[in-house]
Amino acid sequence: MTVSGFTFNAFSENTYLLHDATSQCVVVDPGCYDRAEQAALQAFITDHQLQVVLLLNTHCHIDHVFGNQFVLDTYKVPFLIHEADLATLRAVPAYAPSYGFPHYTPAEPTGFLTPGTPVRFGDTELEVRFAPGHAPGHVVFYHAPTKVVIGGDVLFQQSIGRTDLPGGDHATLIESIRTQLLTLPDDVTVYPGHGPATNIGAERRSNPFLR
């Protein structure tokens, strides 16, 4: 599985395309808000002859969902989140204008992710792990063969997700990190929702929030 990343919007959010040798592709957390960002995502998909088959959200805070409706309108694919984050998603239209995003278009999921039930596309199978704390319905996606985690806003390089937003809880987040991420091998790469990639071993050894 190949991971292709983009950094979008004023929050410097990381959007990911997951694709494999079949050219099937999953869009994770599309943060593309304006037309230029949307065009950049679409151009990469077109240029690499990818077939988008699924839209996933790790969680549904504003910066991770800007492009949901664009992806749905463009590619007509299923859209999955964890059901516990449905209220988070539905709250975005009320506060988006106050954050300076008056043109946000809301989207509704077509189904829900179940931890323990894998997500499949092409020749790829992603493990869905439930990791609340930053958001009540946060999940991460683990691909064991390539040792990759798409981690959203749970674990960052030398940091962790914030827990002062509605539905956040620090103790829950720490428990999620310890049970859902630090149980993975040290050489697993974590692709976070913001900032550079890291790996489990480095965060296990030196992340100041996990001591």
Query: How many Å apart are CA 66 and CA 53, to the nearest integer?
Result: 19
Query: How many Å apart are CA 178 and CA 182, to the nearest integer?
Result: 5
| Residue 97 pLDDT | 97
Structural domains for the chain: 2-210 (3.60.15.10)
pLDDT-flagged residues of the chain (< 50): none
| Residue 211 pLDDT | 86
Q: What is the pTM of this model?
A: 0.97
Among 57, 109, 88, 59, which Cα is nearest to 167's?
88
At 31-84, the pLDDT tens digits run 999 999 999 999 999 999 999 999 999 999 999 999 999 999 999 999 999 999
Residue matched to tokens 């100041």: 208
Task: Count CB neighbours of 9 within 10 A.
Answer: 18
